[in-house]
Chains A and B, each alone.
Chain A
Amino acid sequence: MSELALRRTAVRVRRTWLTRPAIYLVILIVLAITLVPMLYLILSGFRTTGQLGTNPNGLPHPWVWSNYASILRSAVFWQAVENSAIIAVVATGLAVVLGSMAAFALSRYDFRGREGLYLLFVAGLLFPLNTAALPLFLMLQKIGLNDNVFGVALPEAAFSLPVTIIILRPFMRAIPGELQDAATVDGATRIRFFVRILLPLSQPALVTVGILAFVTSWNTYLLPLIVFSTPSHYTLPLAVAMFQSQYSTDTAKVFAYTALSMIPALAIFTFAQRQLVGGLVGAIRG
């Protein structure tokens, strides 16, 4: 009962800090700044460049479907989507498989140099992909992976390993040792324990690192910009930027193209936002 009273005090105190209308006003402003640009983009895709010229901030009148339709019919757009998807799937698969192997070894084995090895991976965080893009390009030229899908996917996987391991290791560590003992008593080897028990139990963390790796790869711009010289290899971010510079006079079409390019990332995000946010939090708490 006294606890309840305490809660009440706290709530009352909080309320005096900012008045309710003020809070709603702030929220309204935040929402406006965050969402209105994107809504504007989507709506303007349904207008013509002429409509945009006479009144930039009007509603579509009449609604024009041809911008979106022509992009959805264009092979170049789908090619870019396909390229992005292939690269993201390869990068994510590699990062999750290799990352969980490393995390397993680093969390459930005792061996000399374990912490040093962990630090080596973690130090990768200090070295973002953007800094390494040109050196990577120079190396890829040497090994013949230049202008190649793997020349982008492999580095992206490698640069996703640190975050993957940082999230997975504490998670795997926290799974009780008794479980492993029980599996050993039942005659399971360590590897079998890893594949059949630890990995299924780590599923939430695996999903998190998978999404992180996928979204990161999907959004990467500088590395593919340097590595790809053939436009048919371009990923979606490159395609958007290229489309804008090629069709800069056809404003409505650029709006439509940009709006469409947002859909995949937003879809993945809404599908998995709980996991993603939770995982980020876990990563930061270390």
Chain B
Amino acid sequence: MSTHATGGGRAAALRRRLQPPRLPRPRLPRRDRGVLKKEEIVPWSLGDKIGLAAAWFCGLLLCAIAGAIVIYMLVRGLQYLSVQALFQHPVILSTTQSTGTAGGYLDPIEGTLILTALGTLIALPIGVGTAVWLSEYGRPAWLARAVESGVEIVAGTPTIVLAIFGLLVFTQGAFGFLSFTAEGGAVFGRSFFIAGIMMSLIAIPLIVGATREALQSIPAHVREASYALGKDKISTIRRVLLPASRKGIATGTTLGMGRIAGDTAIVVLLLGATPIEPQGDIPVLRVLQGTGSTLTSYVYNNSPAGEGNAPQKAYAAAFVLLILVIVMNFVVDLVSRRRSDPWAR
């Protein structure tokens, strides 16, 4: 049956009048048929086709790159990774040793974990507090704008700049308790404490951003429902708003942890990139006051660009770092797992 020849001459004439002849497309399906026949489907324009193809291509390319990174690191890493190396302290390199086989990377692994935990612990309360202030108080307006700009500036600062700034600040005498003071009174300015503080500056903007977004996505009537029960702002924030934005806080924290674990500049400048060398005698503090290294600085030092030039160890350590970050993200995601948006309707 032809798709056009129903309805008689009058309807056809009316249709011709209603439909401008110069635009035969889109040919709409007729009401009484309901189902589109294949030839009635209007083909996409060339631009749309190219756009769709480009979108597909970009998505697949990113997938391929991510897969390539993981697979390549998996192959190279597993090739050189030995279980005992995970639990061995590194050996201070010297020209006489065969650097390729000696020592493990226990210290860098510990260092990464300590530094990430420390940086996150510092960043979390500051970041969440800033976000709550910005989202729930934010007065006076000029101060809120200033805080926002401040967070953005910190977010935009290269970590090497943060590192050199940290070195400048924390070698001042007043901060001697954070690292150790040499005999002449000079403050060393390199320790887990100091690196952790500067690392937290990387994570804070991410936590602020994610928390703030989560807080702002909570409808106003939820806050009002709490006020209407005779609750004040503080209890509302604590009992309703923060639990509701848990997911956002976790997202920001995950991003921050990944960035901290992945940063090299601050480690090299502010952590010393040495094996873990505690200072002083107070049990836990002595580690935090001392220097150490992370997997990133270990990879850097052992890569062909670094002084060690032991690429096998660099590959293996890089693989461990990758796994570590993936596991960390997974754990935080698991901890915060709730229905994604409680108010999504």
A and B physically associate: no
Residues of B within 8 A of A (CB): none
